[in-house]
Amino acid sequence: MLDEFQKNSIKPYIEMAKEKKIGLTQSAGRYAEDSGKEEFIWKDIQEKLCLVQSGSLLDLGVGFGPLASKIINYCIKEKKTGYFYDIPEVIENLRTEWSAPNIYFLKGFFPYDAGEFLDSDIKFDSILVYSVIHYTSKPFEFIKEAARKLKIGGRMLIADIPNVDKKGRFLCTENGRKFHASYKKIPLNEVPIYKDQADFVLKNENQNKVINDQLISKILVEFRAFGYDVYVLPQNEDLPFSKTREDILLIRNY
């Protein structure tokens, strides 16, 4: 069952889907000025997941922006099995745009509505969770359930993670403040000063604070104990939020 945080987190996307605001960079949680950077994001995803060697992909929280278009079209063109999971309002829009024998759309709020899918025998070479994990209040449980669908030898990329501690480390530096001022097109003296990352975390209530260093460490330790290789990866500099976000790659060994 969704809690209030989760219900509130998806409201903007429900409204955009109802208004048919498909294909916009903003519909994927990025800013309008980042339009066009999906090409860099897609290249980064392909490299980290080694998609050229993959026959099947599960995209959890696919969305309906330009990145979703690239991923779905890639699966169709390259004849790779693609399963795309998102809230009903998003999936209904995608179904009006794409239809192919190797493409499947699943609707619901993962993992709460995914019992039948999770219990099915189908597994994937690749699983993508891009800029999604901060919309849940139980990120570790989300990742653990998703990993059930990974084949032995498969790769799962949890990407664009807005680690609040990482963001705080960056924005409490002079370089971070200058970057923020330039990005937001505001004077430097309007950018808050934080004494350290803990000060940033304390003073910013609009962050999902369960997405933090502790979560990253828990994923590393526990999934390695489960038999996965786990890597924390930086984002390329040409990605929209590379200064404040990071990725995790899971590789299932057995």
pLDDT in tens, 88-122: 999 999 999 999 999 999 999 999 999 999 999 99
Q: Where are the beta strands (DSSP E) in the chain?
A: 56-60, 81-86, 103-107, 124-130, 150-161, 228-234, 246-252
Write down the pLDDT at residue 120. 98
* Tokens read off for 64: 């309906």
pLDDT category of residue 49 using cuts at 50, 70 and 90: very high
pTM score of the predicted model: 0.93
- pLDDT score at 23: 59
Average pLDDT, integer, range 5-19 = 85
pLDDT at residue 10 in the model = 86
CA 140 vs CA 15, 36, 82, 121: distances in Å:
27, 31, 24, 23
For the segment 176-197, the average pLDDT, to the nearest whole number, is 95
Angle between helix 38-49 and helix 66-77 axes, rounded to 10 deg: 50
Confidence band of 21 (pLDDT split at 50, 70, 90): low
pLDDT of residue 27: 57
How distant, in Å, are the alpha carbons of 2, 11, 111, 212 from that of 8?
10, 5, 17, 20
Strands, sheet with 150-161, edge to edge from the N-terminal-most edge strand: 103-107, 81-86, 56-60, 124-130, 150-161, 246-252, 228-234
Tokens (6 digits) for 15: 């409204």
Copy the structure tokens of residue 57.
Answer: 């992909």
pLDDT at 90: 94
Whole-Å CA distances, 150 to 126, 130, 133, 192: 7, 16, 17, 42
Positive/negative CA dihedral, 83, 88, 92, 97: negative
pLDDT at position 16: 85
Res 30: pLDDT = 61
For 119-152, how does the pLDDT look when each residue is reduced to its tens digit (9 = 90+)? 999 999 999 999 999 999 999 999 999 999 999 9
Distance CA 205, CA 22 (A): 29
* Residue 181 neighbours by CB under 8 Å, 6+ apart: 187, 188, 190, 191
User: Is the Cα dihedral 231, 247, 134, 85 positive or negative?
Assistant: negative
Q: Are 69 and 93 in contact (CB under 8 A)?
A: no
Domains of the chain and any CATH numbers: 4-161+209-252 (3.40.50.150), 163-207 (no CATH)
What CA–CA distance (Å, rounded) separates 131 from 139?
Answer: 12
Closest CA to 128 of 83, 173, 165: 83
Instruction: Report the percent of the chain where pLDDT is more than 90.
Output: 83
Residue 252, beta-bridge partner list? 228
Average pLDDT of span 150-159: 99
Q: What is the mean pLDDT of residues 217-223?
A: 99
For residues 237 and 140, the answer to whether their CB atoms sit within 8 Å is no
Q: What is the model's pLDDT at position 46?
A: 98
